[in-house]
């Protein structure tokens, strides 16, 4: 009987660990499934999440996202394209600016491009949510890498948009350590669902954590 408090504590700790592991395991499966789903519905705009630019030119990863956006636009799936992404210290260009230039060069009229900014996924959405709402554009096809699709859509939904999945089908990112991206997304989505994605963004920037970045 003297050891029953210790046994109870061990059982409770074990239960907590199992619940946490189960929660994040389910989250991972949902992220993976979302990244494999492509909506066939039309939308009011295409929302492209930024990623690295190379001195005014889109990186391979960003170019893949822009190619996907152009495919959707040319198929008349949506009449507007919103591009996002800021820059790193020392950069002369922003991801959104490079994206807009690329889209114009490939036939998208400037008036059909909404240029945002942002240093993380939450800020990416925030930078274009106002202009989208001002034009009464709510339903958006979300273009990003498959592992990022779930969080990107969740951030869009949290800011009043109606997101539809359209992940990049052949992202160059798959050539890297993909498990790290899925691990990061599983943690970020798991936490974001609990504390809110806006709070996650603020905490990550305040503590200089990478969880909310990679938008």
Amino acid 207: pLDDT: 67
Cα distances from 130 to residues 115, 125, 148, in angstroms, run: 11, 9, 22
Any domain includes 18: no
Calculate mean pLDDT across residues 64-87: 97
> Is residue 212 predicted with pLDDT exceeding 60?
no
Residue 146 lies inside a defined structural domain of this protein: yes
Task: Tell me, yes or no, whether 202 lies in a domain.
Answer: yes
Residue 68, pLDDT above cutoff 50: yes
- Burial of 183 by CB count in 10 Å (0-12 exposed, 13-18 middle, 19+ buried)? middle
Positive or negative, the Cα torsion across 90, 97, 107, 170? positive
pLDDT at 67: 97
Evaluate whether residue 59 is within a structural domain: yes
Q: How far apart are CA 100 and CA 146, in angstroms?
A: 22
Q: How far apart, in whole angstroms, are the C-alpha atoms of residue 157 and residue 159?
A: 5
Task: Give mean pLDDT, residues 147-163.
Answer: 97
Question: Measured between alpha carbons, how far is residue 131 from residues 13, 29, 94, 143 in Å?
Answer: 48, 33, 18, 18
Could you give the number of structural domains in the chain? 1
Residue 37 lies in a domain: no
User: Whole-prediction pTM value?
Assistant: 0.90
Domain of 90 in residue numbering reads as 45-206
Of 87, 77, 80, give the one whose Cα is nearest residue 47: 80
Residue located via tokens 């152009």: 70
CB 66 within 8 A of CB 102: yes
User: What digits encode the pLDDT tens for the residues 89-104?
Assistant: 777 899 999 999 999 9
- The 10s digit of each residue's pLDDT in 71-80 is 999 999 999 9
Does residue 212 sit within a domain? no
Is residue 92 included in any domain, yes or no?
yes
pLDDT at 133 exceeding the cut of 60: yes
In a domain, 40, yes or no: no
Q: In whole angstroms, give the CA distance from residue 116 to residue 94.
A: 9
pLDDT digits (tens, 9 = 90+) for 29-41: 999 999 999 999 9
Residue 59 DSSP one-character state:
-
pLDDT band at 175 (very low <50, low <70, confident <90, very high): low
**95 is written with which tokens?**
């991801």
In the prediction, which pLDDT does 163 show?
A: 98
Choose between 149 and 11: higher pLDDT: 149
Confidence of residue 209 (pLDDT cuts 50, 70, 90): low
Q: What CATH number is associated with residue 186?
A: 3.40.50
């Amino acid at each position: 009987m003297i050891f029953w408090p210790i046994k109870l504590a061990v059982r409770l700790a074990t239960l907590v660990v199992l619940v946490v592991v189960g929660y994040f395991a389910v989250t991972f499966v949902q992220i993976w499934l979302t990244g494999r789903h492509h909506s066939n519905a039309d939308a009011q705009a295409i929302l492209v999440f930024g990623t690295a630019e190379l001195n005014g030119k889109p990186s391979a990863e960003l170019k893949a996202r822009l190619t996907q956006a152009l495919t959707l636009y040319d198929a008349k799936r949506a009449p507007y394209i919103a591009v996002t992404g800021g820059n790193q210290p020392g950069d002369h260009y922003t991801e959104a600016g490079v994206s807009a230039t690329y889209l114009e060069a490939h036939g998208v009229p400037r008036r059909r491009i909404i240029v945002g900014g942002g240093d993380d996924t939450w800020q990416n959405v925030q930078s274009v949510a106002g202009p989208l709402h001002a034009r009464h554009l709510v339903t958006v096809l979300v273009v990003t890498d498959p592992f990022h699709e779930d969080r990107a859509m969740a951030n869009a939904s949290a800011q009043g948009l109606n997101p539809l999945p359209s992940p990049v089908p052949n992202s160059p990112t798959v050539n890297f350590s993909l498990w790290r991206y899925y691990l990061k997304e599983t943690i970020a989505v798991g936490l974001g669902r609990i504390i809110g994605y806006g709070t996650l963004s603020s905490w990550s920037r305040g503590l200089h954590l990478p969880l909310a970045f990679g938008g």
